[in-house]
């Protein structure tokens, strides 16, 4: 028998109309107008953070920035599903998730300016700092979730990564361990179609979510530009994890409308026509159209969102431009959680070197 066609979960069409889905719509039945407006606001602010940080890099104020333009629906939709005690393990593009977890705008650029080894206090917001090593944090998310399970904590972890990370051995190991030990972790793949210049078809000859099935992990595809659908499937996976059902895999189909990082030139490997298609599926425009259709949009709300975005952007820019350079000796801070003899020895040697160099 031919395999039955399956389609990505979608609750809101690009024109703002709702989709009848008796399985997933009940998962977001509590999302009223106030919550929809809050999600829209967070998406606009996330885009403004991204725009401001990109501008700062172009002006020489940041060494690098990984844009999230076009992925706001996947990030904000999933972030709104998380409980305060759930722990987030991010890659390097999840500034929108970080904002939703309570990371102050002033902390978002510290690493990218070269002023610190990290951006924020991970334990304060239950979210790790940007992971530059592609796919490595999937193992960290799995290990943390397993340890929490052994201690009886009713939490889940979520690991964010791109389509390119699914080709990494670390991701495969994380999936294998999570499946074998029924670990409460959600693997959240933002399939933005390009791993730098490599198209997604090179990463997998089958839909990425199906690869999870080979590990015994349920996988689901969702329209990643539909924030409401992303919220629904992420809630479903987190509930399953907290209830002892084990890991889940979500493939959020979205598109990176900007470059991989500010060091990249996407015009060298993709066409303007492809970009135009995805611009018509803009996640922010989609949610706005839903708000308009359901009479939740007015000038006062529009102005309040713009003011909030301006406020956050101003805080981000001001903090970046006034960020003090670190002292050289701070290189040894936070290497270990507790004092370590070798680190202290290296600190003394480095201090002697600086003194001899006339600093």
Question: What are the start-end ranges of the H helices in the chain?
Answer: 33-58, 72-79, 95-100, 110-113, 122-125, 137-150, 169-180, 200-203, 208-213, 227-242, 272-279, 283-293, 299-321, 341-356
Q: Which candidate, 275, 301, 307, places its Cα nearest to that of 288?
A: 301
Active site residue 269: yes
What is the DSSP code string of 37-83?
HHHHHHHHHHHHHHHHHHHHHHTTS-S-----TT-HHHHHHHHTT--
Residue from 269, 334, 348, 353 carrying the catalytic annotation: 269
Active site residue 149: no
Q: Which residues contact 122 (CB under 8 A, 6 or more apart)?
A: 128, 129
Active site residue 256: yes
Buried b (16+ CB within 10 A) or exposed e, 267-306: eeeeeeeebeebeebbbbebbbbbbeeeebbeeeeeeebe
Q: Are 93 and 54 in contact (CB under 8 A)?
A: no
Residue from 193, 260, 286, 317 carrying the catalytic annotation: 260
Residue from 211, 256, 281, 317 carrying the catalytic annotation: 256
Catalytic residues: 256, 260, 269
């Amino acid at each position: 028998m031919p395999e039955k066609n399956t389609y990505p979960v979608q609750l809101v069409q690009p024109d703002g109309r709702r989709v009848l889905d008796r399985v997933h719509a009940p998962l977001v039945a509590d999302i009223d107008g106030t919550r929809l407006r809050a999600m829209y606001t967070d998406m606009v602010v996330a885009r403004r953070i991204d725009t401001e940080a990109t501008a700062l890099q172009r002006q020489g104020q940041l060494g690098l920035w990984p844009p999230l333009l076009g992925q706001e629906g996947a990030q904000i939709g999933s972030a709104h599903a998380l409980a305060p005690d759930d722990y987030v393990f991010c890659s390097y593009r999840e500034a929108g998730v970080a904002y939703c977890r309570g990371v102050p705008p002033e902390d978002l650029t510290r690493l990218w300016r070269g002023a610190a080894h990290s951006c924020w206090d991970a334990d304060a917001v239950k979210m790790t700092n940007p992971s530059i090593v592609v796919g490595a944090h999937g193992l960290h998310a799995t290990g943390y979730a397993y340890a929490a399970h052994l201690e009886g904590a009713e939490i889940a972890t979520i690991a964010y990564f791109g389509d390119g990370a699914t080709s990494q051995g670390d991701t495969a190991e994380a999936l294998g361990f999570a499946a074998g030990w029924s670990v409460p972790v959600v693997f959240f793949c933002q399939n933005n179609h390009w791993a730098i210049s490599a198209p997604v078809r090179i990463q997998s000859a089958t839909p990425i979510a199906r690869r999870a099935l080979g590990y015994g992990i349920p996988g689901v595809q969702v329209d990643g530009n539909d924030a409401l659908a992303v919220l629904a499937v992420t809630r479903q996976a987190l509930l399953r994890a907290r209830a002892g059902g084990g890991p889940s895999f979500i493939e959020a189909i979205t598109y990176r409308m900007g470059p991989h990082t500010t060091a990249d030139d996407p015009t060298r490997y993709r066409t303007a026509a492809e970009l135009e298609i995805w611009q018509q599926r803009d996640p922010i425009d989609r949610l706005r159209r839903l708000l308009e259709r359901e009479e939740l949009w007015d000038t006062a709300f529009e102005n309040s969102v713009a003011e909030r975005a301006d406020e956050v952007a101003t805080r981000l820019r001001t903090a970046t431009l006034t960020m003090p350079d670190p002292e050289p000796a701070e290189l040894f801070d936070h290497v270990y959680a507790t004092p370590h003899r070798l680190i202290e020895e290296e600190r003394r040697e480095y201090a002697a070197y600086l003194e001899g160099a006339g600093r």
